[in-house]
Amino acid sequence: MNNIKAQIISEIDRRIEDLQQHRYDEIIVTGNQYDELNQALAKVIGVPLMKELSSLKEYVIEMK
């Protein structure tokens, strides 16, 4: 159980790190409005997603 828990925490940490690395990326103007919209949406949901992942990590850590 502890090994699985450690793996889950590690994966959550990896995903948070991925989000943090791209947090300040500029939106690349591609001429494709849908691509640019997707980039903007990714930036908008990044912060709340990091908070949710952090909350999930805390929950997993506290699990018995």
CA angle 11, 17, 23 (to 5 degrees): 140
Tell me: pLDDT of 6 over 80: yes
Q: What is the pLDDT of residues 23-59, one digit of tens each?
A: 899 999 999 999 999 999 999 999 999 999 999 999 9
Q: Encoding tokens for residue 45?
A: 């949901």
End-to-end Cα spacing for the chain = 9
Total-model pTM: 0.80
Question: 23, 56, 55: which is closest to 42 by C-alpha?
Answer: 23
Report the alpha-carbon distance of residue 3 to residue 32 in Å, rounded. Answer: 44
Report the alpha-carbon distance of residue 32 to residue 14 in Å, rounded. Answer: 30
Q: Encoding tokens for residue 17?
A: 């790190």
